[in-house]
Amino acid sequence: MSQPNGGTFDIVILGAGSGGYAAALRAAELNLSVALIDKAELGGTCLHRGCIPTKALLHAAEIADQTRESEQFGVKADLVGIDMAGVNAYKDGVVARLYKGLQGLLKQEKITLVQGAGKLVAKDTVEVDGQRYTGRNVILATGSYSRTIPGLEIDGKRVIASEHALKLDRVPSSAIVLGGGVIGVEFASVWKSFGADVTIIEALPRLVAAEDEEISKTVERAFRKRKINFKVGKPFEKVEHTENGVRATIAGGETVEAEVLLVAVGRGPTTANLGYEEQGVTLDRGFVITNERLHTGVGNIYAVGDIVPGLQLAHRGFQQGIFVAEEIAGLKPAPIDEAGIPRVTYSDPEVASVGLTETKAKEQYGADKVSTYNYNLGGNGKSQILKTAGFVKLVRLNDGPVLGVHMVGARMGELVGEAQLIYNWEAFPEEVAQLVHAHPTQNEALGEAFLALSGKPLHAHS
């Protein structure tokens, strides 16, 4: 690809991850000219080092578990082992196909792709290798990086971040996962399925602490059953290198040894030394502050994706990118409701949710105004066929709409599409209860939960 030599565009976008490229595609559809700048690969974290490769690993992990457990279904099979070269070839093949497809899309829309590190040098200009790209509008979309904690150095070998974990050429015999949030829990799940001895260390009192408390309890129960060790409510203190790996010390002096330690304590915004503050953009702990229309308050500068405080999820980045492109084109899109963004943790068991947790709903509306219902997957035919446990929990405003849907169990991520429609359309449980769900599907569990919440339970044990 020949590199352009600067120029003037309707929009200059710095960062071609989920947020940046979605903005570029939507803007091009709206006949706006776009320069999309990235120092690495088009597609950003999600495609190359995040969502897609991790989910490929989780799928391979599921196959390993199914092979191990096949006898429960009357199928005789032996798990001979995990061939990490084969797993990585499969994972990289998925990424490569999607990457090629994405490159084709950008080309089709005649978006000018600029390869190189950019810096905001004026309110309307990004400079890359001495070339200036001026935009009537600028979108900042520089994403995030794996954070660590003070004194804990990521060396990429024994103390690793998710990007290193995705490139391991072997299954570690044992692993410490520092952080029991989404990324930590997903890697713990994969490594356990691949045969590693795993311990999660989490300072907060529970795993997946952003989720409803009952969901955390079920994940913890399932992890105990899977023999994934976890120590919650105990801050990490230090790590030392040992002959064959690392030794982590947690509050109270307890130590855990393993071959590797994965640091999964969250992601920080990539905003340092990019000229943002010099141009007057407000940063708070590195995050770019915007109004609800994602405008920074400076010139025609907008920001999208992980650099904007809130859920760090690819589909939030996509939606914000589309929003800003439409805003620039004068379409006046409706602001995005952060609570309406679905959240999935793809571990075994899976966790999927949208809207408010029970605690948040009660805080917001008052405890007497909110009711909940838990539908146990024990009553759901398809879940029994899959031999999975878990539940669907509904949170509603009394005589009002659904405020939250929380689900845990195998394949629950696939149900979040319906759940987010219900939440975002502010459906009443009685309205959802009228809709027919195919039998036997796991979707029926949602249908049954709504039947029960509307006072007409079918396959629901009280």
Ligand X SMILES: Cc1cc2nc3c(=O)[nH]c(=O)nc-3n(C[C@H](O)[C@H](O)[C@H](O)COP(=O)(O)OP(=O)(O)OC[C@H]3O[C@@H](n4cnc5c(N)ncnc54)[C@H](O)[C@@H]3O)c2cc1C
Catalytic residues: 439
Least distance (Å) between residue 45 CB and ligand X:
4
The verdict on whether omega for the bond into residue 349 sits within 30 degrees of 0, i.e. cis, is yes
What residues does 405 pair with on adjacent strands? 354, 394
The binding track of 19-38 with respect to ligand X, each residue x by CB under 6 A or -, is xx----------------xx
Counting contacts by CB under 6 A, is residue 268 touching ligand X? no
Counting contacts by CB under 6 A, is residue 402 touching ligand X? no
Distance (Å, whole) CA 450 – CA 430: 7
Least distance (Å) between residue 200 CB and ligand X:
15
**Segment contacting ligand X by CB under 6 A, of 142-150, 196-204, 355-363, 382-390:** 142-150
Least distance (Å) between residue 244 CB and ligand X:
26
**Segment contacting ligand X by CB under 6 A, of 50-58, 69-77, 229-237, 249-257:** 50-58
Distance (Å, whole) CA 429 – CA 407: 16
Q: Of 226, 247, 315, 369, which one interacts with ligand X (CB under 6 A)?
A: 315
* Residue with smaller CB distance to ligand X, 51 or 421: 51
Counting contacts by CB under 6 A, is residue 269 touching ligand X? no
Whether 52 and 46 have beta carbons less than 8 Å apart is answered as: yes
Least distance (Å) between residue 12 CB and ligand X:
11
Q: Of 11, 12, 16, 196, which one interacts with ligand X (CB under 6 A)?
A: 16
Least distance (Å) between residue 202 CB and ligand X:
17
Nearest to 290 by CA among 225, 251, 351, 335: 335
* Residue with smaller CB distance to ligand X, 82 or 114: 114
# chain residues binding ligand X, by CB under 6 A: 36
Query: Could you give the residue ranges of the DSSP H alpha helices within 230-351?
Result: 314-328
Distance (Å, whole) CA 276 – CA 460: 55
Which DSSP string do the residues of 360-409 spell out, in sequence order? HHHHHH-GGGEEEEEEEGGG-HHHHHTT---EEEEEEETTS-EEEEEEEE
Counting contacts by CB under 6 A, is residue 312 touching ligand X? yes
Q: Of 313, 322, 354, 395, which one interacts with ligand X (CB under 6 A)?
A: 313
* Residue with smaller CB distance to ligand X, 50 or 379: 50
**Segment contacting ligand X by CB under 6 A, of 89-97, 209-217, 307-315, 451-459:** 307-315
Count, in order, helices (H) and strands (E) of the chain.
13, 24
Give residues 166-185 in contact with ligand X (rule: CB under 6 A). 183
Least distance (Å) between residue 221 CB and ligand X:
23
Sign of CA dihedral 96, 90, 343, 432: positive
State the pairing for strand pair 246-250/236-241: antiparallel
**Segment contacting ligand X by CB under 6 A, of 51-59, 72-80, 150-158, 205-213:** 51-59
The binding track of 82-121 with respect to ligand X, each residue x by CB under 6 A or -, is -----------------------------------xx---
Q: Of 9, 10, 18, 23, which one interacts with ligand X (CB under 6 A)?
A: 18
The binding track of 55-74 with respect to ligand X, each residue x by CB under 6 A or -, is x-------------------
Nearest to 65 by CA among 264, 349, 351: 349
Triad 355, 357, 361: Cα angle to 5°: 85
Counting contacts by CB under 6 A, is residue 319 touching ligand X? no
Whether 191 and 347 have beta carbons less than 8 Å apart is answered as: no
Q: Of 4, 7, 33, 51, which one interacts with ligand X (CB under 6 A)?
A: 51
Counting contacts by CB under 6 A, is residue 245 touching ligand X? no
* Residue with smaller CB distance to ligand X, 162 or 383: 162
Q: Of 317, 349, 390, 409, which one interacts with ligand X (CB under 6 A)?
A: 317
Distance (Å, whole) CA 453 – CA 445: 12
Q: Of 127, 202, 306, 444, which one interacts with ligand X (CB under 6 A)?
A: 306
Least distance (Å) between residue 317 CB and ligand X:
4
SS3 217: helix
Counting contacts by CB under 6 A, is residue 135 touching ligand X? no
SS3 184: helix
> Which helix (H) or strand (E) segment is 145 a member of?
strand 144-146
What are the structure tokens assigned to 245, written together? 């790996």
Distance (Å, whole) CA 34 – CA 442: 43
Least distance (Å) between residue 145 CB and ligand X:
8
Nearest to 144 by CA among 311, 302, 324: 311
Counting contacts by CB under 6 A, is residue 270 touching ligand X? yes
End-to-end CA distance of the chain: 64
Radius of gyration of the chain (CA): 23
Helix-strand-coil split of the chain, %, nearest 5:
35, 25, 40
Please state, in angstroms and as integers, the Cα–Cα distance from residue 107 to each residue in 21, 98, 197, following that order. 12, 14, 46
Least distance (Å) between residue 77 CB and ligand X:
29
Query: Could you give the residue ranges of the DSSP H alpha helices within 278-330?
Result: 314-328
Note the residues at the interface with ligand X (CB under 6 A). Answer: 14-20, 37-40, 44-46, 49-51, 54-55, 117-118, 141-144, 162, 183, 270, 274, 305-306, 312-315, 317
